[in-house]
Structure 1
Amino acid sequence: MKSMTIAAQHGSIHILEADRPATTSESKSLPVVFVHGMACSADIWNAQIAYAARIQRAIAIDLRGHGASTSPADGNYSSAACATDLFTVLEALKLDAIALVGHSYGACVALAAAATAPQ
């Protein structure tokens, strides 16, 4: 699993990422993106990332102000603002379509993202 930071409008967003082994046949599965709840970090998804990465690309993001992501100066932790950060990550990773998984507040972020870009 690799760790990386992506520049965002409010600072930076940290992600964890794992991809299926090169020896695995081409998968038609969408990359899966995991979004944690409040007062957590992407680390809560380590087991799920490892499991999913056996057959597909798997990514977990640290929401703004959580884990290794920077806090917004304006204090905006709204689900819409976090969804914008998610789109920033997807654009940086050149991902057009994903399977999105959210837990607790992460589900609110996932719903905000889906409402903005249902495709």
Structure 2
Amino acid sequence: MPQLDVDGVALTYDDEGPRDGDGVPLVFIHGWTANRHRWDHQVEHFARNRRVIRLDLRGHGESSGSGARTIAELAGDVLALLDHLKVDRFTAVGHSMGGMIAQTLTLAHPERVERLVLVNSISRMTYSRGRGLLMAASTLVPFKLFVATNIQRAFAPGYPREEIREYIRASSATPREVVMTCYGAMRNFDILDRVGEIRTPTLLVHGYHDIQLPVSQMLRMAKAYPDAVVRIVDAGHELPLEKPAELTAALDSFVTGRA
């Protein structure tokens, strides 16, 4: 797999699909403790006809480095990769923390983002009571228990337990420093008062059963967006894993202008 050195950090990425395909490239950005393979279903679908780019954020997956202290730092990594690949205009697709990164990119470079897709993401980090208590206790419980509890809560009731255990194992491989530093970056993220500046066509897809970032918070954000389409799906916070086909269909309709 190719890597790009950004200030001593090796970013692992995939760049697939035809360069002269349909529409601008799609750039997929994963969330906290995840990796670029969260988007396997979407990449398999879209890379048949258009260029698709995804990366492991610093400290995640197969990328090196410690966690970024701000969402803007992570956005800078994504932008460095796109500049390296000579991608000027693109559609940004971000899940959870990745959606925060995508919004930050759009505010900083509106001329480069053709469309914006936010999956289970928000513009101001406001925790539910349960999540707030969990985060407050994060320094008091064993790290693996902290990660496991977060991942367990991310899935809607009924999702196969063995699959959840696999994702817990993968997330637990993310270094503690990366997990906690990126958590701090999300905790401090707040652009709700600025999203009205985003004139980019936007799709907001959210799981109805998301207790990590409740749908009520997304709807509060949606009111501030001047040009947004909202889709609510019967899923939890991990929509790309729980309902991959539904998410792919929603993305396909949106990026082709049918929704």
TM bracket, shorter-chain basis: 0.7 to 0.9
* Cα-Cα RMSD: 1.6
Deviation at 1:28, TM superposition (A): 4.2
Letter in 2 for 1:45: W
Relative CO higher for 1 or 2, CA cutoff 8 Å, sep ≥ 6? 1
Alignment correspondent of 1:50:
44
**Which deviations, in whole Å up to 9, do the C-alpha atoms of 1:45-65 show, x marking residues without a partner?**
111111111110011111111
1:62 to 43, 56, 67: 56
* SS in structure 2 of the partner of residue 29 of structure 1: coil
| Map 1:1-119 → 2, pairs under 5 A | 3-20=1-18, 26-72=20-66, 75-119=67-111
**Which deviations, in whole Å up to 9, do the C-alpha atoms of 1:18-60 show, x marking residues without a partner?**
113x9xxx53400000000001000111111111111100111
* SS in structure 2 of the partner of residue 14 of structure 1: strand
TM-score (norm. length: structure 2)? 0.41
* SS in structure 2 of the partner of residue 46 of structure 1: helix
The answer (yes or no) to whether the contact 1:18–1:50 under 8 Å persists in 2 is: no
For the residues of structure 2 that align with 1:58 and 1:77, how far apart are their CA atoms? 27
TM-score (norm. length: structure 1)? 0.86
| Greater C-alpha radius of gyration | 2
Give the strand-richer structure, 1 or 2: 1
The answer (yes or no) to whether the contact 1:17–1:49 under 8 Å persists in 2 is: no
For the residues of structure 1 that align with 2:22 and 2:53, how far apart are their CA atoms? 16
Give the helix-richer structure, 1 or 2: 2
For the residues of structure 1 that align with 2:8 and 2:71, how far apart are their CA atoms? 14
* SS in structure 2 of the partner of residue 38 of structure 1: coil
The answer (yes or no) to whether the contact 1:34–1:45 under 8 Å persists in 2 is: yes
Deviation at 1:9, TM superposition (A): 1.7
Deviation at 1:10, TM superposition (A): 4.3
Regions of 4+ moved over 4 Å: none
Deviation at 1:117, TM superposition (A): 0.7
Deviation at 1:94, TM superposition (A): 0.5
Greater Cα offset, 8-17 or 40-49: 8-17
For the residues of structure 1 that align with 2:81 and 2:92, how far apart are their CA atoms? 13
* SS in structure 2 of the partner of residue 108 of structure 1: helix
